[in-house]
Structure 1
């Protein structure tokens, strides 16, 4: 069964920092605050990616539990269970 996918919440947004090491420290600090155990970061969206989140190249944003993007309906789907 499929459901419409949801974008990643705003609290996962990481401030834009040019310095790579400072950005890495900010990403780890934010991950600890949100209790995210695997620290995955999307350079395109500048967000922490929780488990099973993926970047949709068609929509140009990260989606929670994304399964596929339907080109006919222009809708993203996630696995519902």
Structure 2
């Protein structure tokens, strides 16, 4: 009969390594760095998206104001066709 130990060894599996305290701290530090980097990337993306949204909102507002002024100017010209101020 094949022992369980030999079966795992032939399958390429080995006993899980027991980490020392220093190795555990290293793993924890790496994971913390990865979490921080992910958080920073998310924050940067959110700031960029907000800036893009604000920029689009301002461009839309300027366009609406321009159209409103053009509409008013046309209305005034229609009321006073003979008055050319320019």
Establish whether TM, by shorter chain, passes 0.5.
no
TM-score range, shorter chain: under 0.3
TM-score for both structures, normalised by structure 2: 0.22
User: What's the TM-score once normalised by structure 1's chain length?
Assistant: 0.23
**Radius of gyration: which is bigger?**
2
- Which structure is higher in strand share? 1
